[in-house]
Structure 1
Amino acid sequence: MAAEHFTTPDATALRRAYYAEVAGRYWKRSVTEAEIDQGLLDFPADDLVPPTGWFVVGRLDGRPLACGGIRLLDPATAELTRVYVDRRARGTGGGAALLAALEEAARQLGATRLRLDTRTDLVEARALYARHGYREIPAYNSVPYAQHWFEKTLDAAAS
């Protein structure tokens, strides 16, 4: 896992794959390139850069197959976003490694807790978060499509 600007070709391809999957699952159909373009405009990633954010790309055998971002909500709270693991990397520990990298990035930004929102149909994501110590909490935002909210208190050192 390595920090990478969200506009690099690999990061952009992963963000497009993320949007194609989450939108396609929600709409129960394949999404068009134009819909992906619009989704990236509607949900920009320009806050996922230091000093208030971070974007990470994960590679398996040199291939970019995972990504995720964090943004500070306040000095103590960071939010996970755009967490994505390509189907080819699922079951390899890539999700756990991605979460560990994002949690460390949040610590480096001074956060002591992480929050996220997700949807009911993203079953694998919800299971990943629960396995790694995230607990469901009441809604902390009114983001469109959010149906579940999670939080994890971060230890001072990596877990």
Structure 2
Amino acid sequence: MLREYLDEIASRFYERQVTEEELDGLLLEHHSRDLVPPTGTFLLAWRDGVLAGCAGLRVASPDITELTRVFLRKSERGNGGAALLVAAAEDVARGLGASLIRLDTRRDLVEARALYARLGYDEVEPFNNEPFAHHFFAKSLEVPDRV
């Protein structure tokens, strides 16, 4: 799933299909080894017994978790799966103790930016200096008190 994710986002960035050798290098450089407890977690999404997508969470601090590697296969898009995947990641982030979830994304990933805005993420000031991060979003995970 991570290979498919990196293949799509790298090919979009370079505006050409990346080679298998480039993809191997990207997997080494942009590994996800920290997306395991206690530094994070990696979620897999399934639909009708078929792997459909993924999302990663990275613990940035005791109360902040970063959402990363959100991806749905093309065949799964347009059916509300992305919103369900992000909601599941938010629930896991709460379980990790986070009161804030944040993410960064590239300017060319307009679908992702629209999704996050629709799901209540606010654009915020940059919180890292990643070269491929152009837009930064955050969302409170605290449940409002009921009256």
Q: Give the structure-1-normalised TM-score.
A: 0.88
Corresponding position of 2:125? 138
Q: CA RMSD in A?
A: 1.1
For residues 21-40 of structure 1, the C-alpha deviation after alignment (integer angstroms, 9 at most, x for no partner) is 10000000001111111111
2:13 counterpart of 1:26: yes
**Larger-gyration structure (1/2):** 2
Deviations 1:64-95 (A, max 9, x none): 11101001101110001111011101111110
Equivalents in 2 of 1:43, 1:156: separation in Å?
33
1:155 aligns with 2:142: yes
CA distance in 2, matches of 1:32, 1:80: 27
Give the share of equivalent positions with the same residue, in percent. 50
Taking the aligned partners of 1:155 and 1:112, their CA distance within structure 2 comes to 5
Summarize the alignment of residues 109-148 of structure 1 with structure 2, pairs less than 5 Å apart.
109-148=96-135
**DSSP-derived class of the 1:117 partner:** strand
Q: Which has the higher contact order (CA 8 A, sep 6+)?
A: 1
Alpha-carbon displacement from aligned partner over 1:45-69 (angstroms, at most 9, x marks no partner): 1110112211000012211111010
Which AA in structure 2 matches 1:18? Y
Which consecutive residues of structure 1, in runs of 5 or more, have no partner in the other structure? 1-13
For the 8 Å contact 1:52–1:109, the answer to whether it is kept is: no
* Corresponding letter in the other structure for 2:92: A
Letter in 2 for 1:136: E
Contact 1:114 1:154 in 2 (8 A): yes
Where in structure 1 do 4 or more consecutive aligned residues deviate above 2 Å? none
Q: Give, in whole Å, the separation in 2 of the partners of 1:40 and 1:113.
A: 28
1:40 aligns with 2:66: no
Structure 2 stretches lacking a partner, 5+ long: none
1:95 aligns with one of 59, 82, 85: 82
Q: Deviations over 1:87-142 (max 9, x none)?
A: 10111111011101110110111000011000111011111101100010111001
Paired residues in the alignment total 144
Could you tell me how far 1:156 is from its partner in structure 2?
3.8
TM-score with structure 2 setting the length? 0.94
